Amino acid sequence: MTTTAQQTRAEKRAAKKAKSGSVTSVWTKVGIYLVLSLVAAMMLFPFIFMLGTSAKTASDSFRFPPRVLPRDPVLSEFQGEVVPLFIVPIAGQDRSAALVEEGIRAGLFAPSDNLQETYAWPLDLVEATGATVDVVIEGETETLEIFRVPVNAEVVELAKIRNTSVGRFVDVDNPSAEGFGVVRTSQPVEEISFHWSNYSEVLGIRSFDRAITNTILVTILVVGGQIFTSIMGGYAFARLKWTGRDKLFVMYLGSIMIPFVVLIIPLFQIMVKLDWNNTLGVLVWPFFYTAYGTFLMRQFFLSIPKDLEEAAVVDGAKRWRILWTIFVPLSWPAIATLATFSFLYAWNSFIWPLVAVDIGNEDSSVLTIALSTLGGQGADQPQLIFAGVTLAMVVPMLVFIAAQKYFVENVASSGLK
């Protein structure tokens, strides 16, 4: 009997412990998802803000504090004219009113005991009492005049702080109701509106569309050349046996350690001697070969079993056929990884095009140079700069998304090996 009771208590304790552990596990997962979601939102916010700004107007782009989504003022027709709408107090209530007149001479009034509560009203509609009041403004005593001012259907005596100008607003639904307010500080009625025409405007600035075409062409040639030479070089270093192979590979791999800035001047001099400077060829031919790509393909080829190659040799296959029918199909993850990195490098290349191609040569200009020029020309129109940057980012994003599957496979297979 005692043993049965002890077993029952032990089972209850175990069940309670399991339930507690399950609750803790759920809250742990919730916390992890919240943290990951927060980090993801922080990473995506700059891109979302860039996309929103690219569809704004110039005035909306300079608005402070900045807003993510583009907005335009709502316009309304009043007495045959199209006028903007504002939220202004009329008869003690905030209403949507049309701005029908600006630059009216007015005064800024406030109770003498609370100078923070201000009212802007035309001087023609107030009455001076002849009285004055001494108030302290920013540590100094000033004498202010007292006026009778209509406020919310009542006439109250207020001190005039300073002169200003106001606009006259008329209720759209009730034209007989009108109010006054400082136009600069009045809240406009706005609606979300995307100006996709910014993109077509960018494409028409200094042959921006030609720069995109040149960039696509250069990128395709560079990526294709690097993939071809890397496959050939990687196979030669991985499978072919010849004198000095390993030493030459180490020397070739060591070229990765040389900063590109060291090679700019001698490389440019060679291009001038060959009369390739200021052409698209100068952006392609020097980058047909990559030590990183050769190293990547060599390492991947070394992981392929030799039995496959030996079986193909027994069947009478030559080296060329073995490479393209066995090694290349098995190496798609590595090729996709190499293509992705090569694409990003060629697409975003800036220093070398800046040196090798004249800025005024629009026929050989590329996207990075065009964006740099756009940054100077469109300083007063940031929405055009953001539109250009968005266009420059779309293609790399699509390429990375398309190659992501193979890229992940390459990383996973590397981990398994």
DSSP states along 112-177: TT-TTS-EEEEGGG-EEEEEEEEEEETTEEEEEEEEEEEETTEEEEEEEEEEEEEEEEEESS-TT-
Q: What is the mean pLDDT of residues 27-34?
A: 87
Of the ranges 112-121, 195-204, 294-303, the best mean pLDDT one: 294-303
Q: What is the mean pLDDT of residues 275-279?
A: 85
Look at residues 245, 247, 249 and name the one whose alpha carbon lies nearest to residue 296. Answer: 249
Taking the domains of the chain in order of start, what are their residue ranges? 71-191, 199-416
Res. 316: pLDDT tops 90: no
CATH topology for the 199-416 domain: MetI-like fold (1.10.3720)
Q: What is the mean pLDDT of residues 307-316?
A: 84
Q: What is the mean pLDDT of residues 138-159?
A: 83
Res. 93: pLDDT tops 80: no
Mean pLDDT of the chain: 83
Q: What percent of the chain has pLDDT over 70?
A: 91
Res. 222: pLDDT tops 90: yes
Q: What percent of the chain has pLDDT over 90?
A: 10
Res. 218: pLDDT tops 90: yes
Q: What CA–CA distance (Å, rounded) separates 138 from 46?
A: 41
Whether the Cβ atoms of residue 209 and residue 217 lie closer than 8 Å to each other: no
- In this prediction, residue 39 has a pLDDT band, given cuts at 50, 70 and 90, of very high
DSSP 325: I
Look at residues 167, 165, 164 and name the one whose alpha carbon lies nearest to residue 102. Answer: 167
Res. 224: pLDDT tops 90: yes
H helix intervals, 105-207: 197-203
Of the ranges 216-220, 244-248, 400-404, the best mean pLDDT one: 216-220
